[in-house]
């Protein structure tokens, strides 16, 4: 099978479709790419048609995220809304030992089956797995994308902490939407690059969220960790966040920056474990220094301008692991997943939903594997693993979640008595 | 007064407390999905019985969640309710085990780790519904299982992971004539094992154990199985059926006015937001036209008692049904029968033959043959003249109706068989794997839930306006999809149609893995009993967008095909038992231990009159066929090589190594390393199901692959040997053999040591060395390993370790070179002798006999030499693949496929072993198939799991050899 390249010429005339993974982040990222000359669109189609397209064109034993992403693409292409001869698809490819690195190939096979083999597929990967002459990460694009991820994480964090307590329904969402718009406008004017501007924005964002009128209520705090797609995508996790909100919980979803940092860190760890280039290690270290610096800036801005809890710095979260799992464990979410569980528990979020696609290989190891040991270390930890797949029904999932919540409420009541 | 309602997946339970907390009312019944109706009448009864009651209500149970939401009642999660109830019903409980209709739960109430509740995952059957299903399969009322089980003498190992698996274990047992008593007990043991394996996850079940829920209340034999498995004496308290309802009542706070609540329940309708498909038929007229079109395809059937010519009899002894056909010289059907198996095919076949002789006194039987699961049994019992593999039988039958047939799909009671015909030979075979059932018996199970015969149930769906969208997965999932649909108010008609559609989708997308009709062919013949169901047929034509041929004898095609076959290949006379002999026909069965080898298989021997006998339960054919020199088999060779490694002195200590996963290949490396350093290496023994059972309680993720789960048992065994350390390192990377884009291990192979460290409590008894090592960088590894070893065994000079590492690399290279040389020699010798060669592709650990279940030996028995993928992969240069080729083991697989595709030798073929739950294989199977097809070669896949039904494997392999045979003959002719 010959790979269809995304050429320089296509860049100006093709619409690039992106699956919906993180609503806030992708809204911002889309704008950045548009500024750099790509016509990009984040797909919003969901429901039975997407799942069916996935089941039809992808091996049914493949993980659910692949099924949904590919289903979403094919459903969109077959909907008639796009000129299929002027459309390209963009999918992330992590390049690790997990089968997720093969999504892109499964997508191409699926397109072939659907008589859409001519549609170019762009791999978004950090490892240089595939190259396209029409798609390049220029330094400025990279920097700007990074900023949108930082903004996305901050907005998501504050939204999660504000929304359950808002006294006027929809107030939080209004602030969030306003900021997505404002940042987009700033992108357009390209007036937001300097760090100074970033800091000023953060301050304003924190204050705006702080100004949302909120009730002083005691809510059950629930953390969500797991495989990256079902963790963030509401289509993937059957609108888990909304369900938990309706059940009166505060939801804590660790940000995307943690995952990106983890992707860098595992390369450093690889060199430490097995040997490798000292120069590469040095460069990766410096990259992490930059991330650490930004984390500090963000945390300070949130702490100074609001009563919200900023995220733990990545290094601290990693150190919490403390031998729970080896740092060489790097496929899928690897050691990041247990690290996030520990971080949540350490910061007082003892109730955790660990989401995973049914039959996800790395999650046998890093998701279900450490739960037993975690409970020994933290007897109050209340962790429920939930599987997602095309046929897992919501009834079943919600029943399990309700059990976790019943125990959470009891723990909370016992805590209050004590 | 307090009311607790527990609406589970199959039953509805209620209790009422008086003011003093005494139970004054209890009720239990199966709801058959009529939740609203029964709930309303139940509440009315309570209202009548306690007219002056002041009520508080809480609802619990999996089906109660939706109801509670809709009518605005308080809901209490059922596991939580159980815990509340236990405080009242059985204080002092340490662990409670509750089985319900579709759920299994364990509650840990005391001890380290605190309160913890576990529920089965969405893939785990082994519950009340499972027991019901098994009773249906055995054709006994579910209540009788108790009495049957009491009279058991022995038990069989039955896969306990999910109902579908267990079913494929039980069916052959029934067919082979195993005693129902023994099967009944085996089912209970399977449930106990499933619950413990799936839910204990390393936490010990001890102390005061309490049993709750329907199955555990009704079946003392089930409780006994749990007692035995756990080594405790659990109790089943009064009202154990009602624990959830009691918990709900205990927690009821919400005051309700009953008449008002009853009204709300009655008025409740589904929310109507369920997904649906277009109706199968828009009108009755459309349906009539469809019928007329299909009625045209028929095999002539005549009744001619005076017929005095030759007759050929074909018998298809399937898993759930027996099909028998008698044809005349013109291939017209004289007599046919479609009978239920009822666990023993013999009486049904006997009746058929007797009545045939009676109806056709003048006819001369000139040939009789059988096919299907019970082929050998029926052949022996009635002295038939031959047997043929099902696939060939089906093809021959289809060819009678559609000479140009190029694709056949057969959906029977328990299996789906599809095959492509190319140039008059069977080309590609697809069989459903144990996990993708969705066949005839599946729709039957649902039909019986509504108390309808399957034909009537299916008919209801024909004109359903909005068939339910149910997805295309296994039965266990389907149960909850149906439940959800009912909750959303779907009618029986819509569900029936939805099930028919899902069967088709399952066959198309899971088994055949195709997206459109053009992949299938021009002339498609559909058959098997399930296609007699017009709804399924319609859904199929709709889904692929093409008209197909369904013969009027769709359900009899296997039998018809065998009859045609024996007519063409027979000798003109038959040895079939005569009418006279049938009068004296007898059958008795007994069991005995085989003394042929150390396996000591438990044999099931069925004796017939006249000294004929049929033996089953044997893993090899030594006893039944007599000893024969075995053909060369690289699997056996590899096993032998691993057990002949040099032993060290043990001066520096004893190191245990579990023989599993990648250790199967790296053993020569580590053994050399530690032996050189003066350690004694203790290897765990060959895997067995007993070894697996020893470790199953510590498995955290039940859906991981069987090879990985086996390691828990290996570790337990090693711990008993009290070694100074157990060595099992993590390895993200494997050796780079320059065949792929990268050289990873799969996540499970790479990190399973972490799972063991975190979940096997006893590992604290010794040093567990599971550090991350990178053998792919020899220089770096040589430098790093002394430091790793020093953490556990300080004081060994680094220079000595480095020298041992170098020796280990050399030993590994030598071992691999030996394997390759031996394999290539076997291959060329076999071809020189004109024997078939099968490259049995898997991972190194598939040579474990407990993982490959003797499939290597089975291939040998069928006459082919077995070599492994790594013997031929070095003969192939790196080539581009359509997937990311990033795992070392799988790169070998692709290379082996390429080798077969390129070698141009029709006698060398590939069979791929796939472990159930191996996510990586979802990618590799399609790619391997693609590479082989590019070279115009057949692709055969065998899925293996904890327990594999070798019957299916045999069919697949026999079909492969039959297809190769046909191909060879065709070449000889042309």
Measured distance CA(B557)–CA(B540) in Å, rounded: 19
Q: Where are the domains of chain A?
A: 8-132, 219-255+311-417
Inspect the interface and report whether the beta carbons of A358 and B703 lie closer than 8 Å: yes
* Contact (Cβ atoms closer than 8 angstroms) between residue B661 and residue B752: yes
Inspect the interface and report whether the beta carbons of A369 and B771 lie closer than 8 Å: no
Q: Dmax over Cα atoms in chain A, in whole Å?
A: 68
* Contact (Cβ atoms closer than 8 angstroms) between residue B325 and residue B314: yes
Inspect the interface and report whether the beta carbons of B781 and A274 lie closer than 8 Å: yes
| Res. A272: pLDDT tops 50 | yes
What is the percent of chain A with per-residue pLDDT over 90, rounded to a whole number?
57
Q: Which residue of chain B has the CA closest to A388?
A: B122
CA distance A292 to chain B (A): 27
Inspect the interface and report whether the beta carbons of A406 and B80 lie closer than 8 Å: yes
Higher pLDDT, B947 or A406: A406
Inspect the interface and report whether the beta carbons of A330 and B732 lie closer than 8 Å: yes
Size of interface A-B (CB pairs under 8 A): 228
- Of A14-28, B89-103, B358-372, minimum mean pLDDT range: B89-103
Kindly report, residue by residue over B759-803, the tens digit of the pLDDT. Answer: 898 999 999 999 999 999 999 999 999 999 999 999 999 999 999
Measured distance CA(B411)–CA(B433) in Å, rounded: 13
Kindly report, residue by residue over B931-965, the tens digit of the pLDDT. Answer: 998 998 888 888 887 766 676 788 778 888 887 87
DSSP state of B512: I
Inspect the interface and report whether the beta carbons of B745 and A129 lie closer than 8 Å: no
CA distance A411 to chain B (A): 10
Identify the band that residue B123 occupies on the pLDDT scale cut at 50, 70 and 90: very low
Q: Which residues of A touch B116 (CB under 8 A)?
A: 375
Q: Can you read off the two tokens belonging to residue B162?
A: 């999910």
Q: Which residues of B touch A390 (CB under 8 A)?
A: 471, 473
- Which residue out of B82, B734, B768, B884 would a mutagenesis test of the A interface target, given it has the greatest number of A Cβ atoms within 10 Å? B884
CA distance B467 to chain A (A): 14
Fold of A219-255+311-417: Rossmann fold (3.40.50)
Q: Which residues of B touch A389 (CB under 8 A)?
A: 473
Q: Which residue of chain A has the CA closest to B103?
A: A396
Q: Beta B613-616 vs B602-608: how paired, if at all?
A: antiparallel
Alpha helices (runs of H) in B402-451, residue ranges in sequence order: 440-449
Inspect the interface and report whether the beta carbons of A97 and B505 lie closer than 8 Å: no
* Contact (Cβ atoms closer than 8 angstroms) between residue B673 and residue B769: no
CA distance A354 to chain B (A): 13
**pLDDT for the residue numbered B719:** 96
Q: Which residues of B touch A325 (CB under 8 A)?
A: 754, 758
Identify the band that residue B628 occupies on the pLDDT scale cut at 50, 70 and 90: low
Inspect the interface and report whether the beta carbons of A395 and B484 lie closer than 8 Å: yes
| Res. B847: pLDDT tops 60 | yes
CA distance B100 to chain A (A): 14
> From the list A56, A402, A405, which residue is nearest B509 (CB)?
A56
Q: How far is CA B451 from CA A301, B133, B485, B492, B531, in A?
A: 66, 14, 18, 12, 21
Kindly report, residue by residue over A5-53, the tens digit of the pLDDT. Answer: 999 889 889 999 999 888 889 989 988 888 888 999 999 998 888 988 9
Measured distance CA(A397)–CA(A233) in Å, rounded: 16
| Res. B137: pLDDT tops 90 | no
Predicted complex ipTM? 0.91
Residue B401 class from Cβ within 10 Å (0-12 exposed, 13-18 middle, 19+ buried)? Answer: buried
Model confidence, pTM: 0.83
CA distance B376 to chain A (A): 34
Which residues, 6 or more positions from A117, have their beta carbon under 8 angstroms from its beta carbon?
A1, A4, A108, A111
The per-residue b/e assignment along A337-360, b for 16 or more CB within 10 angstroms, e otherwise, is: bbbbbbbbbebebbbbbbbbbbbb
Inspect the interface and report whether the beta carbons of B515 and A57 lie closer than 8 Å: yes
Inspect the interface and report whether the beta carbons of A59 and B79 lie closer than 8 Å: no
- Which residue out of A328, A398, A402 would a mutagenesis test of the B interface target, given it has the greatest number of B Cβ atoms within 10 Å? A328
Q: Which residue of chain A has the CA closest to B276?
A: A48
The domains spanning A8-132 and A219-255+311-417 adopt the same CATH topology:
yes
Which residues, 6 or more positions from B326, have their beta carbon under 8 angstroms from its beta carbon?
B311, B312, B313, B314, B333, B334, B335, B336, B356, B360, B363, B563
Q: Which residues of A touch B805 (CB under 8 A)?
A: none
Inspect the interface and report whether the beta carbons of A275 and B774 lie closer than 8 Å: yes
Q: How many CB atoms lie within 10 A of CB B196?
A: 21
DSSP state of B966: H
Measured distance CA(A385)–CA(B903) in Å, rounded: 48
Q: Which residue of chain A has the CA closest to B274?
A: A48
Measured distance CA(B433)–CA(B615) in Å, rounded: 26
- SS3 call for A300: helix
CA distance A176 to chain B (A): 30
CATH of domain A8-132: 3.40.50
Inspect the interface and report whether the beta carbons of A331 and B122 lie closer than 8 Å: no
> From the list B76, B480, B703, which residue is nearest A359 (CB)?
B703
Identify the band that residue B487 occupies on the pLDDT scale cut at 50, 70 and 90: low
> From the list A51, A105, A368, which residue is nearest B882 (CB)?
A105
| Res. B972: pLDDT tops 80 | no
Angle A307-A310-A313 from CA coordinates, rounded to 5°: 155
Residue-by-residue DSSP string for B63-83: THHHHHHHHT--EE-HHHHHH
Which helix (H) or strand (E) segment is B426 a member of? strand B425-431
Q: Which residues of A touch B773 (CB under 8 A)?
A: 274
Inspect the interface and report whether the beta carbons of B703 and A364 lie closer than 8 Å: yes
**pLDDT for the residue numbered B529:** 80
Q: Which residue of chain B has the CA closest to A102?
A: B884
Q: Which residues of A touch B758 (CB under 8 A)?
A: 324-325, 369-370, 372-373
Which helix (H) or strand (E) segment is B539 a member of? helix B534-544
> From the list A274, A366, A392, which residue is nearest B777 (CB)?
A274
Inspect the interface and report whether the beta carbons of B886 and A1 lie closer than 8 Å: no
Q: Which residues of B touch A332 (CB under 8 A)?
A: 747
Mean pLDDT, residues B295-323: 88
Which residues, 6 or more positions from A354, have their beta carbon under 8 angstroms from its beta carbon?
A225, A226, A337, A341, A363, A367, A368, A371, A383, A384, A385, A386
Inspect the interface and report whether the beta carbons of B510 and A1 lie closer than 8 Å: no
Torsional class of A95: left (φ above 0), alpha (ψ -120 to 50), beta (otherwise): left
Which of B183-197, B600-614, B871-885 reaches the highest mean pLDDT? B871-885
Inspect the interface and report whether the beta carbons of A368 and B700 lie closer than 8 Å: yes
CA distance B775 to chain A (A): 8
Inspect the interface and report whether the beta carbons of A102 and B487 lie closer than 8 Å: no
Inspect the interface and report whether the beta carbons of B80 and A368 lie closer than 8 Å: no
Q: Can you read off the two tokens belonging to residue B756?
A: 């063991």
Closest among B569, B532, B574 to B553, alpha carbons compared: B532
- Which residue out of A391, A400, A414 would a mutagenesis test of the B interface target, given it has the greatest number of B Cβ atoms within 10 Å? A391
Identify the band that residue B862 occupies on the pLDDT scale cut at 50, 70 and 90: confident
Average pLDDT, chain A: 89
Inspect the interface and report whether the beta carbons of A274 and B780 lie closer than 8 Å: yes
**pLDDT for the residue numbered A289:** 94
Q: How many CB atoms lie within 10 A of CB B642?
A: 20
CA distance A35 to chain B (A): 32
What's the per-residue H, E or C state across B347-358?
Answer: HHHHHHHHHHHH
CA distance A235 to chain B (A): 16
Higher pLDDT, B353 or B412: B353
Measured distance CA(B755)–CA(B725) in Å, rounded: 17
* Contact (Cβ atoms closer than 8 angstroms) between residue A320 and residue A246: no
- Which residue out of A54, A61, A324 would a mutagenesis test of the B interface target, given it has the greatest number of B Cβ atoms within 10 Å? A61
Instruction: List B911's β-bridge partners, or say none.
Output: B840, B940
**pLDDT for the residue numbered B108:** 86
Closest among B958, B957, B965, B966 to B389, alpha carbons compared: B958
Inspect the interface and report whether the beta carbons of A57 and B113 lie closer than 8 Å: no
CA distance B601 to chain A (A): 34
């Amino acid at each position: 099978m010959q790979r269809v390249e995304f050429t320089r010429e296509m860049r100006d005339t093709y619409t690039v479709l992106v699956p919906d993974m993180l609503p806030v982040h992708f809204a911002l990222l889309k704008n950045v790419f548009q500024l750099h000359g790509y016509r990009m669109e984040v797909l919003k189609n969901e429901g039975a048609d997407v799942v069916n397209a996935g089941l039809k064109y992808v091996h049914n034993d493949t993980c659910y995220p692949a099924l949904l992403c590919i289903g979403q693409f094919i459903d969109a292409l077959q909907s008639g809304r796009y000129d299929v001869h002027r459309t390209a698809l963009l999918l992330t490819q992590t390049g690790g030992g997990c089968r997720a690195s093969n999504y892109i190939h499964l997508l191409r096979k699926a397109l072939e089956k659907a008589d859409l083999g001519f549609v170019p597929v762009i791999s978004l990967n950090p490892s240089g797995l595939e190259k396209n002459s029409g798609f390049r990460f220029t330094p400025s694009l990279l920097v700007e994308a990074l900023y949108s991820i930082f903004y996305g994480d901050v907005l998501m964090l504050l939204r999660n902490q504000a929304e359950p307590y808002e006294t006027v329904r929809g107030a939080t969402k209004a602030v969030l939407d306003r900021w997505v718009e404002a940042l987009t406008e700033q992108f357009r004017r390209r007036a937001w690059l300097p760090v100074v501007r970033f800091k000023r924005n953060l301050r304003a964002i924190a204050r705006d969220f702080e100004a949302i009128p909120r009730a002083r209520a005691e809510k059950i705090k629930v953390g969500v960790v797991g495989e990256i797609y079902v963790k963030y995508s509401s289509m993937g996790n059957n609108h888990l966040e909304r369900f938990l909100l309706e059940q009166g919980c505060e939801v804590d979803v660790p940000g995307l920056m943690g995952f990106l940092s983890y992707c860098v860190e595992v390369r450093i760890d690889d060199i430490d474990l097995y040997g490798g280039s000292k120069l590469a290690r040095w460069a990766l270290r410096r990259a992490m220094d930059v991330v650490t610096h930004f984390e500090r800036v963000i945390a300070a801005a949130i702490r100074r301008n609001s009563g919200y809890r900023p995220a733990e710095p990545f290094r601290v979260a990693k150190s919490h692991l403390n031998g729970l799992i080896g740092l060489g464990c790097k496929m899928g979410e690897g050691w990041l997943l247990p690290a996030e569980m520990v971080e949540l528990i350490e910061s007082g979020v003892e109730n955790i939903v660990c989401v995973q696609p049914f039959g996800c290989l790395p999650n046998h190891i890093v998701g279900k594997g450490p739960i037993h040991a975690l409970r020994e270390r933290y007897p109050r930890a209340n962790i429920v693993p939930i599987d997602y797949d095309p046929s897992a029904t919501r009834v079943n999932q919600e029943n399990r979640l309700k059990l976790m919540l019943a125990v959470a409420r009891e723990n909370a009541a016992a805590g209050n008595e004590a | 007064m307090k009311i607790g309602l527990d609406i589970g997946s199959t039953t509805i339970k209620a209790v009422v407390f008086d003011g003093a907390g005494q139970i004054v009312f209890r009720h239990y019944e199966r709801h058959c999905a009529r939740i609203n109706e029964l709930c309303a009448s139940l509440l009315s009864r309570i209202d009548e019985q306690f007219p002056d009651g002041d009520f508080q209500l809480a609802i619990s149970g999996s089906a109660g969640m939706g109801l509670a939401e809709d009518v605005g009642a308080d809901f209490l999660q059922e596991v939580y309710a159980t815990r509340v109830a236990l405080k009242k019903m059985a204080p002092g409980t340490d662990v409670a085990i509750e089985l319900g209709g579709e759920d299994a739960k364990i509650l840990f109430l005391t001890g380290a780790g605190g309160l913890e509740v576990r529920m089965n995952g969405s893939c785990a059957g082994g519950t009340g519904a499972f027991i019901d299903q098994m009773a249906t399969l055995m054709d006994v009322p579910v209540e009788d299982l108790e009495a049957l089980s009491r009279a058991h003498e022995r038990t069989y190992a039955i896969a306990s992971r999910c109902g579908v698996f267990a079913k494929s274990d039980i069916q052959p047992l029934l067919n082979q004539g195993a005693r129902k008593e023994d099967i009944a007990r085996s089912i209970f043991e399977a449930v106990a094992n499933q619950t413990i394996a799936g839910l204990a996850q390393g936490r010990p079940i001890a102390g005061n154990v309490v049993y709750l829920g329907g199955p555990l209340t009704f079946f003392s034999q089930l409780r006994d199985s749990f007692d035995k498995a756990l080594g405790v004496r659990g109790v089943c308290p009064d009202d154990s059926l009602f624990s959830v309802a009691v918990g709900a009542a205990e927690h009821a706070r919400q005051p309700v006015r009953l008449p008002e609540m009853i009204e709300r329940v009655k008025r409740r309708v589904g929310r109507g937001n369920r997904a649906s498909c277009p109706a199968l038929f828009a009108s009755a007229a459309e349906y009539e036209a469809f019928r007329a079109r299909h009625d045209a395809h028929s095999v002539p059937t005549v009744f001619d008692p005076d017929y005095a010519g030759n007759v050929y009899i074909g018998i298809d002894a399937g898993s759930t049904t027996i099909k028998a056909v008698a044809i005349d010289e013109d291939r017209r059907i004289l007599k046919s029968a479609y009978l239920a198996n009822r666990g023993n095919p013999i009486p049904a076949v006997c009746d058929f033959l007797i009545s045939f002789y009676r109806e056709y006194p003048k006819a001369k039987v000139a040939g009789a043959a059988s096919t299907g699961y019970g082929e050998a049994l029926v052949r022996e019992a009635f002295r038939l003249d031959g047997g043929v593999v099902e696939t060939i039988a089906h093809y021959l039958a289809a060819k009678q109706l559609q000479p140009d047939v190029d694709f056949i799909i057969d959906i029977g009671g328990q299996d789906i068989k599809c095959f492509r015909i190319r140039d008059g030979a069977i080309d590609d075979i697809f069989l459903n794997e144990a996990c993708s059932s969705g066949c005839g018996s599946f729709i039957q199970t649902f039909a019986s839930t509504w108390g309808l015969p399957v034909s009537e149930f299916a008919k209801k769906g024909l004109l359903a306006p909005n068939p339910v969208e149910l997805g295309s997965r296994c039965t266990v999932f389907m149960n909850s999809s149906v439940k959800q649909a009912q909750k959303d108010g779907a009618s029986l008609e819509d569900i029936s149609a939805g099930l028919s559609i899902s069967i088709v989708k399952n066959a198309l997308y899971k088994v055949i893995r195709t997206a459109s009709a053009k992949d299938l062919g021009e002339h498609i013949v559909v058959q098997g009993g399930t296609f007699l169901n017009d709804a399924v047929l319609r859904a199929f034509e709709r889904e692929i967008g093409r008209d197909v041929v369904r013969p009027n004898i769709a359900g009899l095609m296997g039998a018809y095909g065998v009859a045609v076959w024996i007519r063409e290949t027979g000798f003109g006379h038959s040895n079939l038992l005569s009418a006279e002999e049938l009068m004296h026909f007898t059958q008795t069965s007994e069991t005995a231990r085989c003394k042929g080898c150390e396996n000591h298989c438990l044999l099931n021997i069925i004796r017939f009159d006249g000294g004929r006998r049929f033996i089953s339960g044997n893993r090899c054919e030594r006893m039944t066929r007599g000893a024969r020199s075995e053909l060369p088999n690289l699997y056996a060779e590899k096993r032998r090589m691993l057990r002949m490694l040099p032993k060290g002195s043990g001066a520096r200590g004893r190191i245990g190594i579990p023989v599993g996963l990648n250790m199967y290949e790296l053993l020569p490396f580590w053994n050399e390393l530690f032996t050189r350093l003066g350690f004694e290496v203790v290897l765990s023994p060959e895997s067995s199901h007993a070894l697996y059972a020893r470790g199953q309680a510590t498995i955290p993720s039940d859906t991981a692959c069987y090879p990985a789960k086996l390691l828990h048992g290996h570790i337990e065994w090693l711990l008993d040997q009290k070694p100074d350390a157990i060595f099992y390192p993590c390895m993200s990377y494997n050796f780079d053999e320059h065949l792929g884009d990268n050289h990873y291990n799969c996540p499970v192979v790479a990190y399973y040591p972490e799972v063991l460290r975190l979940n096997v409590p006893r590992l604290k008894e010794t040093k567990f060395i599971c550090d991350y090592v990178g053998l792919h960088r020899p220089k770096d590894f040589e430098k790093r390993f002394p430091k790793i070893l020093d953490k556990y065994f300080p004081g060994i000079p680094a220079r000595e370790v480095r020298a041992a590492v170098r020796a280990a690399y050399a030993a590994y290279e030598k071992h691999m070179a030996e394997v390759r040389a031996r394999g290539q020699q076997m291959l060329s010798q076999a071809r020189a002798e004109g024997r078939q060669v099968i490259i049995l592709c898997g991972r190194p650990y598939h040579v474990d006999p407990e993982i490959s279940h003797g499939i290597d030996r089975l291939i040998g028995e069928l006459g082919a030499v077995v070599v492994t993928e790594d013997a031929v992969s070095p003969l192939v240069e790196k080539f581009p693949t359509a997937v990311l080729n990033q795992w070392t083991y799988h790169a070998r697989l692709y290379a082996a496929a390429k080798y077969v595709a390129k070698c141009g030798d029709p006698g060398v073929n590939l069979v791929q072993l796939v472990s159930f739950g191996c996510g990586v294989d979802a990618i590799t199977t399609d790619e391997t198939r693609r590479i082989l097809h590019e070279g115009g070669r057949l692709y055969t896949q065998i899925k293996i799991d904890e327990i594999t039904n070798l019957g299916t494997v045999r069919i697949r392999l026999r079909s492969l050899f039959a297809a190769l045979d046909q191909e060879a003959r065709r070449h000889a002719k042309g």
